[in-house]
Amino acid sequence: MNALRALLRKELASLFGSPTAYLTLMLVALVTALIFFDHLRLYNQILFVYASSNMGGFDTDTIPDYVNLWDTVFFPVMETLGLTLIGAVPLLTMRAFAEERARGTDELLVTTSLSPGQIVVAKFAVAFLFVTAMMAVSFVYPASAIERGGLGAEHLAAVFLGLTLHGIGVASIGLACSAFTSSQLVAAVSGWAVAFVLWDFSWLQPFVGESAARTLELLSLHPRYGSFSEGIVALDNVAYFGALALVSMALARFSFDLRRVGS
């Protein structure tokens, strides 16, 4: 237990003390604030136009159903941030295992009282914690804007949960990729590649059968986390990201056995 606590402290100090991690946090927070502000500004402008009795012949407060927070704010914000996280999160996870392998310190960890499974859980837990903290910081401005406006708080909470789960899913992929290489560059690039491939399989639908298309849709990141933009928290979507994390942890654990066989 003492060895596990020491490893957790080491991983926390390594990640939270990394300039790359804070640059990534600042990038995601800035992009979130700018995108949310721009779409919220557009939403308010549309509301003003439709609510004005002097514009276009509309009576006061006769606003079409399609002018709503989901279509104008939350959905486009999630679309852009989903891709932003795919580009940013692998920069956080590329060091987790690859740096240990490059330095040879992963073998030292295995010789301690820690099992490979405990090492994997510690590294994944710290990465998940940082992703959650990064999304919490990023949503300070959107939360304050929504609170002042007095609308959409529950919807914003669902969006936050969806983006956090998406970030954890991408982090899981990046960590699994990092576990199979000693190069941080290879870990980052492979993390990007796998996440982008899993992002959306809809382009394959014209080339595969209907059953295969349904299976690919179940495996895609985009349909799973996209429903959170509607303010819907579905248990199967939450379970999807949990399963993605567990599979990635199992792969990272398998990398230790694979290296032992190879040596």
Q: What is the pLDDT of residues 160-190, one digit of tens each?
A: 899 899 999 999 999 999 999 999 999 999 9
Q: Which two tokens stand for residue 164?
A: 């956090």
Once rounded to an integer, what is the mean pLDDT over residues 142-170? 80
H-helix or E-strand spanning residue 237: helix 235-262
Residue 67 has pLDDT above 80, yes or no: no
In the three-class reduction of DSSP (H, G, I as helix; E, B as strand; rest coil), residue 211 is classed as: helix
Tokens 């099992």 found at: 115
Query: Using only C-alpha atoms, what is the Rg of the chain?
Result: 21
Instruction: State the Cα–Cα distance between residues 237 and 218, nearest whole angstrom.
Output: 10
| Number of domains forming the structure of the chain | 1
Instruction: State the Cα–Cα distance between residues 227 and 236, nearest whole angstrom.
Output: 11
Q: What share of the chain is helix, strand, coil (3-state, %, to 5)?
A: 80, 0, 20
Instruction: State the Cα–Cα distance between residues 195 and 241, nearest whole angstrom.
Output: 13
Reading phi first (left if > 0) and then psi (alpha if -120 to 50, else beta), residue 112 is in: beta
The residue segments making up the domain with residue 222 are 2-262
Q: What is the pLDDT of residue 105?
A: 73
The DSSP output letter for 58 is P
For residues 160 and 135, the answer to whether their CB atoms sit within 8 Å is yes
Q: What is the pLDDT of residue 60?
A: 45
pLDDT tens digits for range 81-105: 888 899 989 998 998 899 888 887 7
